[in-house]
Structure formats: C-alpha cells, structure tokens
Amino acid sequence: MSKFPFPQAGSAGSAGSASGPASGAAAVRVGGPVGRTLGSGQVRLVGGLLGRWQRRNADATLPHALAELTRAGNLANFRRLTADNPGRYRGRYPFLDTDVYKTLEGLVSELARGAAGPEAEAFWAESVALIEAAQAPDGYLGTYFQGRDAAKSPWSDLAWGHELYNLGHLIQAAVAAARQLGDGRLLAVARRFADLAVERYGPAGEPLYCGHPEVEMALVELYRETGEPAYLTQARLFVARRGAGRLTHGIFPPSYFQDEVPLRDLPSVTGHAVRMVYLAAGATDLVLEGEAEAPVPLAQLERLWDDMVAAKLYLTGGLGSRHADEAIGDRHELPAERAYAETCAAIGTMQWGWRLFLATGRADVLDVVERVLFNAFAVGTSVDGRAFFYDNPLQRRPDHEQRSGAESGGEPLRRAWFGCPCCPPNIVRWVAQFQDHLAVASASTLTLALYADAELRSAPLDVTARTDYPWEGRVTVTVDRAAEGDRTLALRVPGWARGATAHLNGERVGTGAEPGWLRLTREWAAGDTVVLELPQRVRAVRAHPHNDAARGTLAVLRGPLVYCVEQQDAGAPVDDLLLTAADLPGVREERDETTWGQPVVTLATELAVAPEAAPEPYPEAAPEPAPATAPATTNGTTNGTTNATTSGTTSEAADDEAASDARERVPVRLVPYFLWGNREPGAMRVWLRQF
Ligand code: FUB
Ligand code: ZN
C-alpha cells in the first residue's frame, strides 16, 4: 500500500504531452545508464532541511519574487508592448524577461503541488496573457529589443543581447507548465520563438550562437517534450559551433563567452562561470540523447568536471574566483574573501553535475552536487527567504566595504533584490525542483542519490525515506510497495562518510563492496527497512598547497556541511583565532533550536588566540633550519611521510603549534556556512589560521 498522497504519475519514464498534465514529470525528463530522473509526481519532500527550504520557497521567496518583479518593471516590460504607445524598457540589462520566466518555472512546480497561493495563480494568469500578447507575429520575443523605443534591433547583438538565453528560459518555464499543469499556452509561444531561431540559425541559417549558453539545455528539453528533432539538432549546432570566435564584444574577451576554443577541446573550465556550467550542462544533455551524435564526448565532459573539482571549485562548491568578468580563475586561484561564487553558478554546477551523474552513475559527482547544494547554493538565501547573496565569499573582513551583489552600494549582507536579479528567480525554480534531483529509477533499480525526508515511488519500489539529514546521518528507508521479482535498492554512500554502516531488517549488510554505493538486490516486501548510518564526523581539511590564498589554514566540515566562524560567536577577532588538528577532539556538537528559528547543529570549542603582534607588515623571516629529511617528491611526500613544508605547515607553524599551549584560549562557536550573515553584519571566516 502506498502512502503517496497526490496524483499518480505514469510509469517511470512515461512521456507527457503539452495537451495534458503529466504529474510525474521532472524538470529534466531523461535517463542514462542509472535510470530516469524521478519527478514531482513521484517524489515528495515531507520534512527535514530540504523540505523546510521548499516550504519557505512557496511561502516566502516566491511571493517576494512576484512582488519584486512587479515593482522592478520586469512584467511591465511585457505590458508596455501591448499598449498603443509603448513606454521605455525598464532596467539595464537585455535579459530581464528571464527573471519572469525563471520565476514562472518555479511557480508552476509550486502550483502543481498545491503549495502556492492565489497571488501565484493570479501572476501566472496575468503573465501568460502578457507574454502571449507581447510575442511578435514572426514569433520573436524579447522585450528589450521590441517596441518603437528599443535600443537595438532584434538579432543585432548576439554576443550581449541574450536573445537565445531568453528563449532558453522561456522554453524551460513552458515545458514545466505543460508537464506539470497541463497548460500548453506558454509552450505554444516558446515553440513559435524556437522555430524562428531554428529558421535563422539552423542547419540552413547563419552559423551563429548566443553569448550566454542556456538555450542548449532548454532545446534538448523541448525536444524531449515535443519529440521534434529540429530542436535537438539546433542544440547540437549551438554547442558544436561555439569556440569559433564569432562572438565579438568591446569589453569581454572570447574566453569570457567560452568562444576561444571549442568545448570538445577546452583544457579546463574557463571564462564567465555561469556561462561555462550552463554550456557544459547542455553538452551533457546531448550525450544523454546519444553520445554518437553529441558534439562533445562524455570523456571530455568528465575530464572538465574532474579538473574543475580538483582545482577551480571552492571548498563550498562555489565557482568563480574573480569579480572581474564574473570569471572562473586560474587553477588554484581561490581567494576566500574575493570569491565571486555566484549563486547562479552554484545552480549551474548542480545542473551539470546531475546530468553527469545520469550519464555516468558516478557517486563522487553527487558528492560534489551535495556539497554545492548545502553550501554554495544554500548560503544564497536568508533564513526568512526574502534576501539573497549574489556572490558568496568564504571570508568577510571586519572592515569590509564592498556590498553584496554585482552592483556597488546597497546592503552589507543579503539584499532583497538586484538590478541584475538573475540569482533570486533562479533560486525559486531550483528549490521548487528539489524533488527532481533526489532519485532515479530503472525497471530494476531505485537509486537514492541525495538524502531527504521524502516519499518516493517508482516502477520497482515505492519507499519512504525518513531522516534529519544533514543534521543527522541516519537514513531509514522503508519499502511501501515492491514490484514482483528481484529489484535493487541503491543508496549513495558519500565519500566523507567513513565508517558508514547499514542494516536490512535489523541484519548488518556490507557497505564496502563498491565505492560510493550500497546496492541491495532481493525480492522486496512492504515493510522491509534499510537503516543507513552515515557518520557525520567533524573533520578538518586544509587546502591544496598551490591554493596560496588558503595556505596555513584549516576549515571544519561535518558531513556535507562546511562550517565557519562569525565574529559574534568568537571571544577574539576571527582573524586572530588559531585552529589545529589537535583541537578537533575537543569540538562539541550542540543543537541550537532558537538562533535561526530552526534546529541547527553548531560546533562549540575553545581556540587559541594569536593577536596581531608584529607592527611590521613584512617582518624578516628567520633562517630556516636545513631539512632533516630527503627532498619532497612532487606530491609533497617523502617515502609516504607528509613533508611539512610543502603540505602547508612550516617549521614556524610547528613552533607555533607547540607554543599554542601557552596562548590564551577563547570560546568559539562554528556555524554552518550557509547560515552566516543572518545576524548583524560582521567578520566571518571559513578558513581559520593554523599559525
Ligand atoms: O548574463 C545573465 C546573467 O547575469 C549571468 O548568468 C549572471 O552571471 C549575470 O551576469
Ligand atoms: Zn545570478
């Protein structure tokens, strides 16, 4: 018997259509070797942290976004085209239509699960009518370029105009509405615009492409929804053509647009961070639709991903080291206080990672997706769901002056909205789609990729997962219904969960057979229960030795969560605190139910203080004693022994560590990074000094 309380989906993987609701539809309706993504009619978040975030999305963030879009003029930009005498376009950027589309994409999911209120329904009705009315007779839609007073004519500036980026977000909202509400009106608009794009830039058209990738992912999804192969072909063309250097811009170099080298030959992720990961996600979608015809082989996409994870991603999963050009940095260029790590880049990284998991089944890719989700992405939204970070640094200095966001001025912490408001609407849609990124199923296997308190149904198994993850590491999976015959339940064992154990109906089962996965195959019966214990060890990590900005520091993690120290929780300036590995056993886990109005695990300890003593900024270094051991090998080890100098701990550090016994120690509380900046503005550090 299933406890699932809302509409039955078709069998896993059944195709929906624009003419009727397809309540089982996921945002990405696709499968790979591991199975097909389970969608909103098949997965329901019940509680826990992700469930709370999703409720906050419907109750606070979505209504807030609707009000801001109305206030800022995004909706008025469509309305003005329906008037006899259109007024001026409001806003600075040519992509402000997308903030309506992204919000609609999220709104549709919230409406479909009955979580959104009447103001969401009213916004939906009004905006669909305006979008329909604003579309030009030839199918064109881009309010910046339409109307008598338009600054530029359509298709005159592919590098910066974002017209196909606009189309991409329109398509994604339209597909969501067709699948989840059975409302095909937006899909009809999107198809007319997509057909125009195919006519202009298809196999027989100009061999051009958009300055901001996004439409590639969307066209693949439009193909999945409609079955029209021209959309798939167009997506392939856009990915394959990029790198030809056709995007000319007075300010940004070709690498900003990933237009210097074709993606199939790109040695490392580069350029504008959001553009990079959206492009890679689209290219991975094309692999999922048939690698033989995909412009970029899966091996190249995996190589780019692995290289990004190894050398370009922040500990939090944030991507983008430079404010200049919102760009990815060089290898190991990861300054904590200058981290750009845009919230949209976190979303794009998860979109790419999810598709890469579908294509490869790699559990370590999901570890990264999870890291991004609980850190670089989650930090972008305030506890009340009505304020946002655009950039997500890992350090704030006490005298910090630059305000949050792409523009100068404004709030010292999260802002209610931005002149370039790409992040908040992206948050709305991503949170609304959490359930589409938790599990996949094939005829034989249900795979739980990420953990949440949720109910899941699939062809092989219906299960209920109960957990307080990530605060606790116990996940209890109970089978509610099983198909006849042997079926597999696959559970991800995160790489950080050393010592994970599992019990099936009280009997211990092994977890070590396959790195990253626990697979249990049997004839299941309702009531069978698997209890997975993922030890949420408090652990410290240091940065790669080439990450100069973080050398000589440690960061603290617990499970998938990165922790930080905010000034209000430290008995001395955060820049003067010293943390060594020897401090870890003294760290106490505490549950705080009040500070943020929700249960949170914080970490209490006492740390040594090294107040800034030397008045000189660059005091002369004392001569180093000659090394007693053989020179280090390139990986920083000598005969398997970590070499102190190359691993980031100098002899000076060792002296300091020894001396730290004598130092004053002060109480310190570490809090999850995603919660920082919800109290009064102050200094914050993820990486704490070792010496
Ligand atoms: O260009 C559209 C969006 O605006 C980008 O994705 C963000 O990085 C911001 O620049
Ligand atoms: Zn953004």
**56-87 pLDDT per residue, tens:** 999 999 999 999 999 999 999 999 999 877 78
Confidence at residue 401, expressed as pLDDT on a 0 to 100 scale: 75
Final residue in a domain of this structure, among 400, 420, 437: 437
- When the pLDDT of each residue in the chain is averaged and rounded to a whole number, the result is 90
How many angstroms separate the Cα of 115 from the Cα of each of 38, 59, 124? 19, 8, 14
Which residue type, as a one-letter code, is found at position 562? V
Comparing 22-36, 273-287, 342-356, 459-473, the range with the smallest average pLDDT is 22-36
Residue nearest to atom 9 of ligand 1 (CA): 422
pLDDT tens per residue across span 496-535: 999 999 999 999 998 888 999 999 999 999 999 999 999 9
* Residue among 169, 212, 323 to mutate when testing ligand 1 (max atoms within 8 A of CB): 212
Mean pLDDT of 557-569: 98
Closest CA to 405 of 422, 418, 386: 418
Q: How far is CA 47 from CA 52, 192, 259, 465, 467, in A?
A: 6, 40, 44, 10, 9
**Position in ligand 1 atom list of the atom nearest CA 98:** 2
Taking the CA of 94 as reference, the closest ligand is 1
Beta strand extents in 282-409 (DSSP E only): 395-396
Q: Which helix (H) or strand (E) holds 105?
A: helix 97-112
Question: Are both 552 and 516 inside the same structural domain?
Answer: no
Ligand 1 atom at shortest distance from the alpha carbon of 212: 1
Structure tokens at 51: 């469930």
User: Looking at residues 630-652, what average pLDDT do you find?
Assistant: 38
**In angstroms, what is the C-alpha Rg of the chain?**
25
Band (pLDDT 50/70/90 cuts) for residue 29 is low
φ/ψ of 319, rounded to 5, equals: -130, 130
Ligand 2 centre to CA of 412 (Å) is 18
390 C-alpha to ligand 2 centroid (Å): 6
Given a cut of 50, whether residue 7 has pLDDT beyond it is no
**CA 327 – ligand 1 centroid, Å:** 11
125: domain CATH number is 1.50.10
pLDDT of residue 109: 97
Q: Comparing C-alpha atoms, which of 177, 195, 87 is closest to residue 140?
A: 195
Average pLDDT over every residue of 430-459: 97
CB 465 within 8 A of CB 64: no
The token pair that represents 616 in the structure block: 């000189």
pLDDT of amino acid 40: 85
Q: Ligand 1 center to residue 338 CA distance, Å?
A: 18
Cα of 422 to ligand 1 centre, how many Å? 6
| CA-CA-CA-CA torsion sign (145, 151, 154, 158) | negative
Q: How far apart are CA 446 and CA 365, in angstroms?
A: 18
Please, what sign has the CA dihedral across residues 214, 219, 222, 223? negative
Q: Cβ atoms within 10 A of the Cβ of 480, count?
A: 18
Residue 479 has pLDDT above 70, yes or no: yes
Q: Using one digit for the tens of pLDDT, what is the confidence trace for 652-685?
A: 555 555 555 689 999 999 999 999 999 999 999 9
Average of per-residue pLDDT across 252-263:
97
Model confidence pLDDT, tens digit, residues 242-252: 999 999 999 99
Nearest to 9 by CA among 20, 28, 26, 22: 22
Which residues hold their Cβ within 5 A of ligand 2, which is an ion? 342, 344, 422-423
Domain match, 484 and 549 both = no
The SS3 assignment for 627 reads coil
Contacts of 150 (CB under 8 A, 6+ apart): 89, 144
Q: How far apart are CA 6 and CA 440, in angstroms?
A: 19
Name the band, by pLDDT with cuts 50, 70 and 90, for residue 640.
very low
The domain total for the chain is 3
Among 92, 95, 144, 423, residue to substitute to test ligand 1 (most atoms within 8 Å of Cβ) = 95
Q: How far apart are CA 101 and CA 394, in angstroms?
A: 31
- The span from the CA of 108 to the CA of 501, in Å, is 39
Reading across the β-sheet that carries 486-492, which strands appear in turn?
A: 31-32, 35-37, 439-441, 445-448, 486-492, 517-523
476 found inside a domain: yes
C-beta 274 within 6 A of ligand 1: yes
- CA neighbor of 49 nearest in space, from 493, 538, 389, 454: 454
Last residue of a domain, one of 506, 533, 560: 533
For residues 572 and 495, membership in a common domain is answered with no
Are residue 332 and residue 406 in the same domain, yes or no? yes
β-bridge partners, 592: 600
pLDDT of amino acid 55: 98
Residue 624 is assigned to a structural domain of this protein: no
Joined together, the tokens standing for residue 231 give 């959309």
User: Which of 397-406, 410-419, 617-626 has the highest average model confidence (pLDDT)?
Assistant: 410-419
Can you tell me the distance from the alpha carbon of 539 to that of 188, in angstroms, rounded to the nearest whole number? 52
Strand (E) or helix (H) holding 561: strand 561-570
* Selection from 262, 109, 81, 238 nearest residue 168 by Cα: 238
Nearest CA to 459 out of 478, 477, 476, 446 is that of 446
Same-domain pairing of 208 and 141: yes
Distance (Å, rounded) from C-alpha 130 to C-alpha 143?
A: 11
Q: Are 24 and 39 in contact (CB under 8 A)?
A: yes
Ligand 1 neighbour 328 (Cβ under 6 A): no
Q: Are residues 276 and 325 in the same domain?
A: yes
Angle, alpha carbons 439-116-181 (nearest 5°): 65
301 CB within 6 A, ligand 1: no
- Ligand 1 atom nearest the C-alpha of 342 is 8
In a domain, 619, yes or no: no
Residue 627 pLDDT greater than 60, yes or no? no
Q: Residue 259: which domain range?
A: 15-437
Length of the chain: 691
pLDDT digits 0-9 by tens, 148-191:
889 899 999 999 999 999 999 999 999 999 999 999 999 999 99
Residue among 390, 422, 430 to mutate when testing ligand 1 (max atoms within 8 A of CB): 422
Q: Are residues 378 and 329 in the same domain?
A: yes
More reliable by pLDDT, 298 or 10: 298
Q: Identify the residue whose C-alpha is closest to ligand 1 atom 6.
A: 274
Residue nearest (by alpha carbon) to ligand 1 atom 3: 422
416 lines ligand 1 (CB under 6 A): no
Q: What is the whole-number distance in angstroms between the Cα of residue 342 and the centre of ligand 2?
A: 6
Residue by residue, DSSP assigns 566-608 as: EEEEESS-GGGEE--GGGGGG-EEEEESSTTSS-EEEEEEEEE
Give dist(CA 663, CA 429) in Å, integer.
Answer: 49
For residue 5, is pLDDT > 50? no
Does residue 55 or residue 658 have the better pLDDT? 55
> Do both 147 and 212 map to the same domain?
yes
Considering every ligand atom shown, identify the ligand nearest to the alpha carbon of residue 169 and give its number. 1
- Distances in Å between the Cα of 348 and the Cα atoms of 33, 244, 298 are 22, 23, 18
Q: Decide: 540 and 581 in contact? Cβ < 8 Å.
A: yes
Q: Is residue 83 domain-shared with residue 174, that is, in the same domain?
A: yes
pLDDT band at residue 41 using 50, 70 and 90 as cut-offs: confident
Of 533, 560, 581, the residue at which a domain comes to its end is 533
Q: Is the pLDDT of residue 23 over 70?
A: no
Q: Residues 343, 435: contact at Cβ < 8 Å?
A: no
Q: Are residues 512 and 365 in the same domain?
A: no
pLDDT for the residue numbered 407:
63
Q: Which ligand is nearest to the CA of 344?
A: 2
Residue of 479, 475, 467 whose CA lies nearest to 534: 475
Euclidean distance between CA atoms 211 and 275, whole angstroms: 8
Ligand nearest to the CA of 159: 1
Specify the long-range contacts of residues 250-256, CB closer than 8 Å, at least 24 apart. 252/159, 252/325, 256/325, 256/327
Could you tell me if the CB of 583 is within 6 A of ligand 1? no
What percentage of the chain has pLDDT greater than the value 90?
A: 83
Q: Would 633 be classed as within a structural domain?
A: no
Q: Cα(49)–Cα(59) distance, rounded to whole angstroms?
A: 15
Domain-located, residue 358: yes
How many angstroms from the chain centroid is the CA of residue 675? 16
Ligand in nearest proximity to the CA of 257: 1
State whether the beta carbon of 96 lies less than 6 angstroms from ligand 1: no
Instruction: Quote the DSSP letter at residue 59.
Output: I
Q: Does residue 583 share a domain with residue 456?
A: no
Longest dimension (CA), the chain: 84
- What is the whole-number distance in angstroms between the Cα of residue 69 and the centre of ligand 2? 15
At 483, which CATH number?
2.60.40
Q: How far is CA 237 from the centre of its chain?
A: 26
Q: What is the pLDDT of residue 642?
A: 33
Question: What pLDDT digit, counting tens, does each position of 262-294 carry?
Answer: 999 999 999 999 999 999 999 999 999 999 999
To the nearest 10°, report the CA torsion of 557, 561, 567, 571.
-40
Check whether residue 184 and residue 133 sit in a common domain.
Answer: yes
Question: Is 618 domain-assigned?
Answer: no
Per the DSSP assignment, residues forming a β-bridge with 509 are 502
- Confidence check: pLDDT of 32 > 80: no
CB 238 within 8 A of CB 215: yes
In the sheet that holds 529-533, the strands lie side by side as 43-45, 454-457, 461-467, 474-482, 529-533, 501-504, 507-509
Q: Which of 85, 122, 222 has the alpha carbon at shortest distance from 164?
A: 222
- For residue 635, tell me if it sits in a domain: no
**DSSP state for residue 240 in the 8-state scheme:** H
Please give the average per-residue pLDDT across 551-559, as a whole number. 98
Query: What is the model's pLDDT at position 654?
Result: 54
- Which bound ligand lies closest to the C-alpha atom of 427? 2
Residues 288, 309: Cα–Cα separation, whole Å: 22
- Reading phi first (left if > 0) and then psi (alpha if -120 to 50, else beta), residue 414 is in beta
Q: How far apart are CA 217 and CA 288, in angstroms?
A: 11
637 inside domain: no
> Which residues contact residue 621 at a Cβ distance below 8 angstroms, ignoring those fewer than 6 apart?
none
**Under 8 Å CB-to-CB from 512, ≥6 apart: which residues?**
none
Distance CA(556)–CA(574), nearest Å, equals: 14
Give the torsion sign (CA, 68, 73, 79, 81).
negative
